[in-house]
Chains A and B, each alone.
Chain A
Amino acid sequence: DQQVKQNSPSLSVQEGRISILNCDYTNSMFDYFLWYKKYPAEGPTFLISISSIKDKNEDGRFTVFLNKSAKHLSLHIVPSQPGDSAVYFCAASAFVGSGGSNYKLTFGKGTLLTVNP
């Protein structure tokens, strides 16, 4: 049972245009969401995050939107650049466990973004 779903395995856009990557989740206990970018043979690199008390967070070319009622978030990249070509993972966390604060991440399967020059 996948709690975080990225239904588009791949996305191709032209340089300079907007890239929109989508993510849906099913667990209503999730209250913190993150996007990671991953190049082959490297670990995921943190991009941007959003808390469930917000509906938008912006950092330079990257904006994340959260729609809690729809359990949906999206990552917008404007303008897209060839260096943005990578796999993008959506991740979510909720408080779990006891004995202290611990927040394991649940990831989607990723979306391969290709930005064409």
Chain B
Amino acid sequence: DTGVSQDPRHKITKRGQNVTFRCDPISEHNRLYWYRQTLGQGPEFLTYFQNEAQLEKSRLLSDRFSAERPKGSFSTLEIQRTEQGDSAMYLCASSPPPGGVTDTQYFGPGTRLTVL
């Protein structure tokens, strides 16, 4: 299967701990997105990478959140000092070059975070 993969699928942590999630996009896709979905809501945009450059960050991404894509391939999303309000499904998506409004984003299975 050559779709978007995310690891881990589930993460349970205690409030105040740090967590890191990984996303591996479809191999030829140079654009990568992170979204967050809470119960009863649609996914909400967090941040976007084109190759290794982080080009946009949502105001939802507080200082406790950091995302990287060091070699333009996989990406990591780290949450420091987790809070109960961080409990959500974290979704990664990728889309191919060359760019243009008609490009479709393909999503991974998500990482379900529960903060106790």
Residues of A within 8 A of B (CB): 4, 31-32, 34, 36, 41-46, 49, 51, 89, 91, 93-110
Q: Using known A-B contacts A41-B112, A43-B4, A43-B110, determine if residue A105 contacts B105 with beta carbons closer than 8 Å.
A: yes
For the A-B complex with A44-B43, A108-B42 known, give 17 more contacts whose Cβ atoms are closer than 8 Å.
A4-B42, A31-B101, A34-B104, A41-B112, A42-B109, A43-B109, A43-B110, A49-B102, A89-B43, A91-B42, A97-B56, A99-B53, A101-B99, A105-B93, A105-B105, A109-B40, A110-B42
- Assess the A51–B102 pair: CB atoms within 8 A: yes
CB-defined contacts of B93 to chain A, threshold 8 Å: 43, 105
Residues of B within 8 A of A (CB): 4, 6, 31, 33, 35, 40-45, 48, 50, 53, 55-56, 58, 91, 93, 95, 99-110, 112
Q: A-B contact count, CB below 8 Å?
A: 84
Q: How many angstroms from the CA of A36 to the CA of B100 in the assembled complex?
A: 19
CB-defined contacts of A45 to chain B, threshold 8 Å: 107
- Assess the A104–B43 pair: CB atoms within 8 A: no
